[in-house]
Amino acid sequence: MDEMWSNCEDKEMRSELFVTPAAKLTQALKRAEIFIGEKETYKAHRELIQCTALARIVYGHWHWRTAQAHAHLAHSYLTLQGMSWSGQEKQKDNGNLTSGLPVQAIQHANSAKCTIFKGEGTPSSSSEERREILSTLLTIYYTLGVAEWMRKNGKESYGNLQKAERIMEDLQGSGWRGTPQLKVSERDLSAALGRASLQQNKLMMAVKHFEKAIDAVISAEGETAPELISLYQEIAQVEQMKKNHKKCIGYLLQAHSVALAVGKKCSPEAASIALLLGKAYAATGEEKHGEAAEMYFRESLATYKVALGPDHPQMIDALEEFSKWLICVGKREQAYDLLKESFESQSDPCSDFNEKAAERFYIMGCICLAEENMREAYQLLSKCVQIQTAVYGPRHRKSKEIQKLLDMLKMSPGVLEGTKPMK
């Protein structure tokens, strides 16, 4: 039996040895396509790395097929980055591993571009090959644009994305037939152009591109496509920056509707949309919108509590936003009760010793000051400065500012009389 297995292994090794690099390249490409279709991103990425090495062996360093392999690998780095970041967090650094991915994407995209434009061989005159090369250039410029946006280089990003847009228009023109399947869709490109415009504070341009992306998604997948949720939020952000509150609220209501339609009623995404709606209604400053603002703030808190738990940072952020708004509209007692309840309902006993907790103690202390309850204000602010000193150090600006306030409160009559330490 052992001899039989040994013979089988020998045959497999011999057959593997006689597989040509070209055949291995074809196999790797097929595996990558399968993994991409199954959303097995890391497995697909490994296959694409292998494809770049095999393409260099089969076609040579300066062939456009080698450039195509590098372009696909560069685009794969963006996909990996997208898995590491989510929603509005995409522009925040998420550690050394993920922060290096845009750089890798740029390096491979530039390598692909250099190979195409400085290659020694001249491409054939076939229409099919020219389309493939244009498709590769589209992937290259899109990847460069998005990677530069991730690195907050708005001008570089927009310039590359404009080149990608011109190439896509050429590929979609009536003179081309049988256009190869593109890695970059029209909606991806329009959304990227919108984000790059927003990064440069070109608000009108951003709205135009986001509207185009939304129209493309609706045309392809209908009015309840999940992708619309983030696009509606992004265009709402632009309208908010333009102080166009009505349009901002309208887009957020559409995002909210889609989230409910696709079964995300109790998700962090739905909670985030509700919070944005609360802030948008509050930002109008109109009394008639106060009821709607409070309704969505409370919906946000309830959804975050179910989806993430009472101690999650996003839940606490929403709580702070709501309490600050309540204070602004004169509902200080409600704000105080809300903040106090957040400490009483927390599941983790250590949750009251971090910067988020310090912020809540500070807000509660300020409420007590406004109500002229000096003794309780002193207790709450003492707890606040105790946490800030532990978190930031005694010489930090925040710690020193609260300590100054405490020193002033000590001079108030009766502040320290009968003061008990906070539990």
Q: d(Cα 318, Cα 191) in Å, to the nearest integer?
A: 27
Q: DSSP labels for 171-228?
A: HHSTT--SPPPPSS-HHHHHHHHHHHHHHTT-HHHHHHHHHHHHHHHHHHH-TT-THH
Per-residue pLDDT at 68: 95
- Thinking of the domain 20-78+102-115+129-173, which architecture would CATH place it in? Alpha Horseshoe (1.25)
Q: What is the pLDDT of residue 1?
A: 54
| Spatial contact of 74 and 105, defined as CB atoms under 8 Å apart | yes
Q: What distance in Å separates the CA atoms of residue 87 and residue 78, rounded to the nearest whole number?
A: 15
Measure the CA–CA gap between 409 and 96, rounded to whole angstroms. 45
pLDDT tens over the chain, length 423 residues: 555 545 555 555 555 556 799 999 999 999 999 998 888 989 999 999 999 999 999 999 999 999 999 999 999 998 887 654 333 334 444 444 445 789 999 999 999 999 998 875 445 557 788 888 999 999 999 999 999 999 999 999 999 999 999 999 988 875 555 555 788 999 999 999 999 999 999 999 999 999 999 999 999 999 999 999 999 999 999 999 999 999 999 999 999 999 999 988 889 999 999 999 999 999 999 989 999 999 999 999 999 999 999 889 999 999 999 999 999 999 999 999 999 998 887 766 566 678 888 899 999 999 998 988 888 998 999 998 888 888 888 888 888 888 888 888 887 776 655 444 433
pLDDT of residue 10: 55
pLDDT at 217: 96
Q: What is the dihedral of CA 185, 108, 47, 56, to 10 degrees?
A: 120
Q: How far is the CA of 335 from the CAs of 83, 224, 367, 412, 415, in angstroms? A: 37, 36, 8, 25, 23
Q: Specify the residue for token string 């599941």.
A: 347
Element (H, E) at 10: helix 2-17
Q: How many residues does the chain have?
A: 423
- pTM for this predicted structure: 0.82
Q: How do the domains of the chain map onto residue ranges?
A: 20-78+102-115+129-173, 185-242, 352-423
- What is the rounded distance in angstroms from the CA atom of residue 359 to the CA atom of residue 342? 12
Q: How many other β-carbons are positioned within 10 Å of the β-carbon of residue 273?
A: 29
Instruction: With beta carbons less than 8 A apart as the criterion, state whether 307 and 268 touch.
Output: yes
Phi, psi (deg, nearest 5) at residue 115: -65, -40
Token couple for 363: 């807000």
Question: How many secondary structure helices (H) and strands (E) does the chain include?
Answer: 19, 0
